[in-house]
Structure 1
């Protein structure tokens, strides 16, 4: 590369040294740079690239169309942090998928953002599915990012637990927690493939699902009413009508979801929406929701419709049971509000202390509170985590709900071990203490406990020596 640029009279070695020094402290990019090479957004360099008709093997940017496809050309500003897809994570254009069209990309962008000019920010683009160390106290656990992608990662985490606890050995009704401490890297990848496939297959109603992967080719040219992002326009869609073949394909391409720089979370989200189909997504949502992502504090967060889609396979925008036909005053609504129609494998619990004073705490229905398996995605003060039990019969035998353990994983990097919480539904001493001291119980009881009590009202909760941190 140095030799090539050195032969070009518009770029000197002194210029390269100066630019290189500006990025030398960005250690996390060094591996990507070493694989991809440095490219700079400069008129002279761009002309040089164009003259050579450089084919993009993964860098950000877009170029002019060719006769069969649009070949992307990498370029970025030397004063901004670049984001590149490593070559190994771009699949061959001849793999056999269906290239995305401009019309489909426009519809996809609208269902996500409500506009074709919005694109994912850096936090979303860099997010992927990464496990903690194999054979460790958290070998079953995914690392969760801050911001909007955390929601998706923790839903997938819940389905990873479903596979490890209840699918891998389906004939066993109760697992020993120790099995989660002995997960190898190979098992991690298998569990991730099973989790992703399971969510996609449910969204496709057990009939048809899609997987989206980024290829080297760009399949449509830039237009005035669509903002290019350098990966959506390079998608191929792979269709599956058999769950086993779907899971096998995802397992073979698992690096496209777990590798650094893979856009793994975005690819899974795209696959989810195409599996549900854009037409059914519009039918799922009511007049309260028009798109699935919402801008909050500079980042895109998942709306409830997207959360419900991942949990139940249907993008209903509300957490109550069934469809609501009447308002609080008994008046017939112009259009029904869509809630959850059936129990899913993974449940959902919600708590937000900021909404208590305003009486805005949504009432999660029994369909989500009582799932088929004892695994819950928890939305606690707008931060997502998981609660689970290893006994499949916990929710089907009321006697087992007298005294039992729940395991808590927050997804936060600071958590190094799974927290074991002992739940006693017959003891109500916590309520006695609440009445003896005036004030908001939330100020004296951890949010995790208050979340659990939305399912088991009045339960006493023992942290078993762990200092409450959530």
Structure 2
């Protein structure tokens, strides 16, 4: 199983995670502060996973847990206990979605590190962590969520390898065999080496957002072989927007651009952040999409408040010019927003655009 993980992630059992990945865990900002709801995320390949989980954390805190109102102050009043509850819910939701589609019913797998370890064989190079993984299986999401909350420090504690533990849990919940089928049985690894960094491929983002690791789930171009609707066309709880860095004309599928809740993971030329609104009816009442407010968080020490006006069109690009043409460049966040609301104007409300 450890060998299968290595091959699926890197394509070769001799590769190992970098120190950046080994040190990555789910770390919140201070409770009861302006960013109490937010996970800290440095630059690097782990940010994609952290921001995907962040999207689910925000969706839970704003729209799922039992509270009366949806507004930004709710997020700022989050306590340490609530941070753990939100993280447990976000992880469980993502694992539950990945576990869907199995022949014997859903089976969520949660990975924790134990004291004992296996003895590697052959070309497998030990990393002193993967060899200690112990698997816990659950047939109900509530039981998995409770277990994760009881062991939340295994994901958010310093030195816990929390991000890798979650990634392993995600793959085992989906099963290694079904992930390989999602990839059309190609030898394409889930992680890639880029300028010395280990980064997530589109397949990993797809697994985080749709529960499938398909290469074309995010743009909705692949039809399901089972005859069911394509995962990328269905409306999930959180969505996905792309603001540059992909092929010309590429955009997320309609289902991901219009999720059930106004929360999106944004891919911005290889970097990632979360765009979210506090109006639960934003995507179900067209009148609310005339002028509305969104917030953008990228894992650093600040968030931006944006005002979107879909009836004003100050920015019209000529068809013959690309978004990177001289005089035509705009912040990547704005490009992502316009992939959903074509021609909308975006005000940063006095904040200097930083993405």
Q: By the TM > 0.5 criterion, same fold?
A: yes
Match of 1:90?
A: none
* Residues 434/467 of structure 1: CA separation in 2 closer, same or farther (3 Å cut): farther
Per the alignment, residue 42 of structure 1 pairs with: none
Are the equivalent residues in 1 in contact too, given 2:295–2:306 (CA < 8 A)?
Answer: yes
**1:447 is the counterpart of 2:335:** no
Q: Report how far residue 428 of structure 1 moved.
A: 0.9
Q: Distance in 1 between matches of 2:273 and 2:327?
A: 18
Equivalent residue number for residue 360 of structure 1: 248
Q: 1:277 to 1:464 in 2, by over 3 A?
A: same
Conserved 8 A contact 2:232-2:256 = yes
Does residue 123 of the first structure (1) align with residue 20 of the second (2)? Answer: yes
SS of residue matched to 1:246? helix
CA 1:434–1:469 in structure 2 vs 1: closer, same or farther (change >3 Å)?
farther
Classify the secondary structure of the residue corresponding to 1:323.
coil
The aligned runs of 1:255-270 (5 Å cut-off) are: 255-270=153-168
Quick one: distance in 1 between partners of 2:28 and 2:64? 19
Following superposition, the deviation at residue 440 of structure 1 comes to 2.4
Q: Could you say if the C-alpha distance between residues 439 and 108 of structure 1 is closer, same or farther in structure 2, counting changes exceeding 3 Å?
A: closer
Give 1:377 deviation, angstroms. Answer: 0.3
1:302 pairs with 2:200:
yes
Residue of 51, 56, 62 corresponding to 1:154: 51
Q: Which residue of 2 aligns with 1:213?
A: 112
Asked if 1:342 is matched to 2:237, the reply is no
1:294 match: secondary structure:
strand
Give the equivalent residue in structure 2 for 1:166.
63
More contact order relative to length (CA 8 Å, sep ≥ 6): 2
Matching residue of 2:296:
408
Change in Cα spacing, 1:433 to 1:117, as seen in structure 2 (3 Å) is closer
1:321 paired to 2:216: no
What residue is the counterpart of 2:38 in the other structure? 141
CA apart distance, 1:176: 1.6
- Residue pair 2:235, 2:258 contacting (<8 A) in 1 also: yes
Offset of residue 296 of structure 1: 0.7
Larger Rg: 1
Give the match for residue 227 of structure 2.
none
Report the CA distance between 1:432 and its aligned residue.
8.8
Is 1:272 aligned to 2:170, yes or no?
yes
1: CA distance between counterparts of 2:261 and 2:194?
Answer: 32
| CA-to-aligned-CA distance 1:399-428 (integer Å, 9 cap, x gap) | 111110011111124x2xx31101000111
Provide closer, same or farther for how the CA distance between residues 190 and 433 of structure 1 changes in structure 2, counting only shifts above 3 A. same
CA contact (8 A) 1:446 1:468 kept: yes
Question: Is the 1:203–1:275 Cα contact (8 Å) retained in structure 2?
Answer: yes
Matches within 5 A, 1:8-407: 104-169=1-66, 175-205=70-100, 207-218=106-117, 220-286=118-184, 290-318=188-216, 319-323=218-222, 340-352=232-244, 360-407=248-295
Q: How far apart are 1:115 and its partner, in Å?
A: 1.0
Q: CA RMSD in A?
A: 2.3
Equivalents in 1 of 2:252, 2:80: separation in Å?
Answer: 36
Structure-2-length-normalised TM-score: 0.91
Secondary structure in structure 2 of the residue aligned to 1:429: coil
1:426 partnered with 2:311: yes
Distance 2:176 2:318 in 1: 51
Please list the CA deviations of residues 99-142 of structure 1 after superposition, one character each: whole Å capped at 9, or x if unmatched.
xxxxx111111111111111101000000000001111100000
Q: Secondary structure of 1:239's match? A: strand
Is the 8 Å Cα contact of residues 322 and 339 (structure 1) preserved in structure 2? no
TM-score, normalised via structure 1 length: 0.69
Structure 2 equivalent of residue 466 of structure 1 = 351
SS at match of 1:108: helix
Show CA shifts across 1:303-342 (max 9, x none).
11110111111111122225269xxxxxxxxxxxx87242
Change (3 A) 1:441 1:248: farther
1:430 Cα deviation after fit: 2.8
**Contact 2:243 2:334 survives alignment (8 Å):** no
